[in-house]
Amino acid sequence: MTITIATAPGKAILLGEHAVVYGRPAIAVPLAEIEARAEFIPAAAGQGVLIQAEDLGRRYRLSGAAEDDGLAAAIRLTLATLEFRTEPDVTVRISSTVPMARGLGSGTAVSTAIIRGLAEHLGHPLPPAALSNLVYEIEKIHHGTPSGIDNTVIAFAQPVYFVRGQPLQRLAVGAPLTLVIGDSGVASPTRAAVGDLRRRWQADPERYEGYFDEVGVIVEQARRALEAGNVPALGQLMVENQEILKTLDLSSPELDRLIEAARRAGALGAKLSGAGRGGNMIALVRDGEAAAVVEALREAGAVNTLVTTVA
Ligand code: PMV
C-alpha cells in the first residue's frame, strides 16, 4: 500500500455566526492558505493504528486512546462507518497550519483531513456530503450544539450559504473578495461562547430571537450583494452584523480595536469571525488595499494576519 495524504482548509465565517445555531442563515468561505494535513503511512502487520500528532508532540496507539480523544474518535468513526472491524496497520501523521481556538476551524479541518484520508486509504473515498456528515458527528463531541457550518464549508471547500439542517447551497461569488483576517491573540473556545449565549437566550428568548432575526435579514441581503458582486454593500452589511454581535456581548476590547483599525485604514467592512470574545476578526478590503489594512492591524495588536481572496 502507498502513502495517502489528505488535506482540509481552514474557514472563516463571513456573516451570521451564532444566529446560525438558532436556524438563521450564515455565509462562510474556505481558507486555502491554511490547512490541516493527515498522512497515512502503511506499517508492519500487527502494529494497528499509531497516531502521531505533530503539533501536540503526541504519539499514541488508537487502542489506548481515551473515548473523548478527538483524533481517535475521527478514526474510530471512519472505521465503524466503513465496517472495518479490525484496525488497519497504519501510522497516521497529523499536522496543521490552522491556528487553534481562533474561529478558523482548526479542529474541524483536522477531523476532515483524517476522515477523508483514512477512507481513501482504505479504498472507500467519501463524497463531500458523506464526509461532512461524519465530521459533524465529531463536532458534536467538541462543541455540544454545533450548527454544522464548519464541517460543511470545510468538507466541500467552497463558499457556502448555510442553514442548519438543510442541504448545502453553493454561493456564486459575483466579484472576487479580498479579505484580511487578524488574530486578536486571545484564545476563545467556541463551546464557552455558544453555551453562554444559550443561557442568556433561555432567560429571555423573545429578545434574543429578535436579534437573530435581524442577523438573518442581514445575511439574506449579504447573499444578494455577494452574488451581484456589490462588494461595498457587503462591507456595510458586515458592519451591521458586527453591531449586533457587539450587542450580544460577543466582541472584546481586542477585537474592537482591530475592527476599528481596519476600518480607519479603509476596509469596506470588518467584524469578528466565529465564536467571538477573542479569536479572529475579518475585514473586507478593496483590491490593492490589503497591505495598508494588514499594517494597521499589526499596529493595533494583531498577533497574526492573513490575506485571502475568494473568487
Ligand atoms: O468554530 P468557530 O469559532 O468558527 O464558531 C462557530 C460558529 C458558531 O456560530 C459560533 C457556532 C456554530 O456551531 O455555528
Q: In the prediction, which pLDDT does 231 show? A: 98
- For residue 207, the Cα-to-chain-centroid distance in whole angstroms is 27
| Burial tier of 5 (Cβ tally within 10 Å: 0-12, 13-18, 19+) | middle
Residue from 55, 69, 150, 196 carrying the catalytic annotation: 150
Say yes or no: CB of residue 13 within 6 Å of ligand 1. yes
Mean pLDDT to the nearest integer, 112-136 = 97
- Rounded to an integer, the average pLDDT of 219-229 is 98
Q: Answer whether 103 contacts ligand 1 (Cβ < 6 A).
A: yes
Say what the pLDDT of residue 99 is.
87
Specify the residue with its C-alpha closest to ligand 1, atom 1: 103
Among 190, 196, 219, 281, which residue has the most ligand 1 atoms within 8 Å of its CB, making it the best to mutate?
A: 190
pLDDT at 44 over 80: yes
Q: How far apart are CA 16 and CA 171, in angstroms?
A: 15
Residue predicted with more confidence, 169 or 273: 273
Q: What is the pLDDT of residues 25-41, one digit of tens each?
A: 999 999 999 999 999 99
The per-residue pLDDT for range 190-218, each reduced to its tens digit, is 889 999 999 999 999 999 999 999 999 99
- Mark whether 55 is an active-site residue: no
Judged against a pLDDT cut of 70, whether residue 96 lies above it is answered with yes
Ligand 1 center from residue 190 Cα (angstroms): 6
Helical ranges in the chain per DSSP H:
70-81, 106-121, 128-143, 149-156, 190-203, 205-228, 231-247, 253-264, 290-299
- Residue 89 phi/psi, 5-degree rounding, is -90, 100
pLDDT exceeds cutoff 70 at 93:
yes
Q: What pLDDT, on a 0 to 100 scale, did the predictor assign at position 269?
A: 98
CA–centroid distance, residue 30 to ligand 1 (Å): 14
The pLDDT of residue 144 is 74
Q: Indicate whether 143 pLDDT > 80.
A: no
Structure-model confidence comparison of residues 181 and 100, the more confident one: 181
CA of 19 to the centre of ligand 1 (A): 10
139 CB near ligand 1 (under 6 Å): no
Atom 3 (ligand 1) nearest CA: 103
Distance 148 CA to ligand 1 centre (A): 8
Which one, of 110, 88, 103, lies nearest residue 41 by Cα? 88
Position 152 scores a pLDDT of 97
Q: What is the mean pLDDT of residues 74-89?
A: 97
Residues listed for the chain? 311
Question: Hey, which of 147, 152, 161 would you mutate to test ligand 1's pocket, going by the most ligand atoms within 8 Å of its Cβ?
Answer: 147
Mean pLDDT of 289-299: 98
Q: How far is the CA of 105 from the centre of ligand 1 (A)?
A: 8
Please give the pLDDT value at position 1. 66
**Which residue type is seen at 225?**
A
* pLDDT mean across residues, the chain: 96
DSSP state of 47: -
pLDDT (mean) for 57-84:
96
What kind and span of H or E run contains 285? strand 280-285
How does residue 122 score in pLDDT terms, banded at 50, 70 and 90?
Answer: very high
| pTM, entire model | 0.94
Query: Looking at the predicted structure, is the pLDDT value of residue 13 above 90?
Result: yes
Residue 16 Cβ inside 6 Å of ligand 1? The answer reads no
The three cell numbers of residue 95 are 499536522
